[in-house]
Amino acid sequence: MKLIKKYCGFVVAGASVWLASSAIASVISFPNTPAAQLAAQRLKAFNAGDAALLKAFKDAHDSNLSVENELGLKKMIGELEVLRITPNGPHRVSIILREKDGDRVGTMNLEVHENKPDQVKSFGLTPMPVTPEDLMPQRLAAQEAWQKLQRKADKLAAEGSFSGVFAVARHGKILQQQSWGYADQARQLKNTNQTRFRVGSMYKMLTAVAILQLVEQRRIAIDAPIARYLPSYSNKSLANQVTIQHLLTHTGGTGDIFTDEYAKQRTSIREHADYLRLFGERSTAFAPGSQEAYSNYGYVLLGAIIEAVTGKPYDRHIQQAILQPAGMTDTGTEPEEKVKQKIAIAYTNAETGLIDAHETLPWRGTAAGGGYSTARDLVRFADALLKGRLLSAAWLAKASQAQVPSQLYGYGFQLGGSKDARYFGHEGGAEGMNGALRIYPATGDIVVALSNYDPPAADGLVQYYANRMPLNVQVKPSQAAMPRNQKGNSP
């Protein structure tokens, strides 16, 4: 369970374990340095999906490597291509990688010890907030981009890798929409454009907007420590050091909620206060503000702060402050038992095939994620943001601009792209759920996909379509055949 839960974090922004395709790796020569040669070995072992090879690498070179995680991620993302290798002296190497069957591009950095060059000192993975232009696919005319998306989704659905809905909108008006697969396989109930899907960490966007609304109302100070709003919080040191901004940007070191302790008590952990009782004594993993590390617990704390400041349950405040103004009629965080008949069944992969993931689901959605929505509602949310119905233009600009050194996160929004292709939004994923929303402020474009399958069922399709859709550049159909490094004409 924990493996896919991590997908809700920066992994969903693209920081999966980016590893190389053996076919491509054989074409691109790895430099003859200790770091590059170890990188080549690790990539080969991962790409083979071979537990024995991975364990051998772990035992010989990197005790921090998790064979289980590597195999799980290999199953999710498949092979990836090595695009570029940049040696930084004998002890460091940086590799740009891309999914072999997709468009995600990321950077892998490996460093070895100077006095022990056969031992990995650090291994880091980061998505690229802006993909180099020469690595981007060619922009297409609208109908061509949509047809390519349909063909890819058809293929994935036929292979049993996608079930869900995809929608494209501009200025709040849905231009294209289609569904695939079943909301309930046993009853042969097909997914439709009205199907509700669990959205995982996508609900963090709503939490962040609610917090920023309270900041605008001067009921919360963004630089204030959480002790101001949660004075009885157990760990006083954490409460006095971690600020609202730290929580919004995943820089507080507050950790995850999907731990072994949580798993033992999953059905009895029901409200934000229950999470605080479980994790309230825990210290920060690092000095607040010194690092970035995706933190589901940080957003649980934000939910508790919303409740403390407003005097209302989290779901009621979100309903009044966001869902009603945006016209979102099919979104919420009610307990699973109350709404499970109204939501697509979450199907996760097991050794026996697809199974119902109900035993992994939280009792209810929280401020960190786990709620449900529809593609139509998420388009309404995006449109309400762009039209200033939820936040002022000034605060939306701050929320959707980079607030961390990686350039990957604002206030509650994941970021990417540049110029007219700049977007903000969020992805979410866990067992039997995956979704992604991208909002393009320069053009008013909105792209959303939701799925009741494991990641990356939906977010991979959003990446694929978004990289090919037209923005403000008018692309002629004949240009679709141009080489990838050749540019189309501006209007």
State the Cα angle at 310 between 308 and 313, rounded to 5°.
Answer: 75
Q: Which CATH number fits domain 2-128: 3.10.450.50, 3.30.460.10, 3.40.50.10860, 1.20.120.1780?
A: 3.10.450.50
pLDDT in tens, the chain (491 residues): 333 444 433 333 333 333 333 333 446 889 999 999 999 999 889 889 889 999 999 999 999 999 988 887 777 777 778 999 998 899 999 999 887 777 888 888 999 999 999 999 999 877 888 888 888 889 999 999 999 999 999 999 999 999 999 999 999 999 999 999 999 999 999 999 999 999 999 999 999 999 999 999 999 999 999 999 999 999 999 999 999 999 999 999 999 999 888 888 888 999 999 999 999 999 999 999 999 999 999 999 999 999 999 999 999 999 999 999 999 999 999 999 898 889 999 999 888 889 999 988 898 999 999 999 999 999 999 999 999 999 999 999 999 999 999 999 999 999 999 999 999 999 999 999 999 999 999 999 999 999 999 998 899 999 999 999 998 754 444 333 333 333 332 22
What pLDDT score does 104 carry? Answer: 81
pLDDT at 480: 34
**Could you confirm whether domain 199-466 is CATH 3.40.710.10?**
yes
Query: First vs last Cα of the chain: how many Å apart?
Result: 49
345, 183 in Cβ contact below 8 A? yes
What pLDDT was estimated at residue 27? 65
Confirm if 254 and 216 have CB atoms less than 8 A apart: no
Confidence (pLDDT) at 295: 96
The amino acid at residue 193 is N
Q: How far apart are CA 320 and CA 209, in angstroms?
A: 13
pLDDT, position 351: 83
* H helix or E strand, kind and range, residue 74: helix 67-77
Q: Check: CB of residue 11 under 8 Å from CB of residue 121.
A: no
Please tell me the predicted confidence (pLDDT) of residue 106: 84
Q: What is the pTM of this model?
A: 0.85
According to the model, what pLDDT value does residue 485 have? Answer: 32
476 secondary structure, DSSP code? -
H helix runs in 49-127, sequence order: 51-61, 67-77
Q: What angle separates helix 67-77 from helix 51-61, to the nearest 10 degrees?
A: 130
Cα separation, 226 vs 242, in Å, equals 6
208: left (phi over 0), alpha (psi -120 to 50) or beta: alpha
Domain positions in the chain are 2-128, 199-466
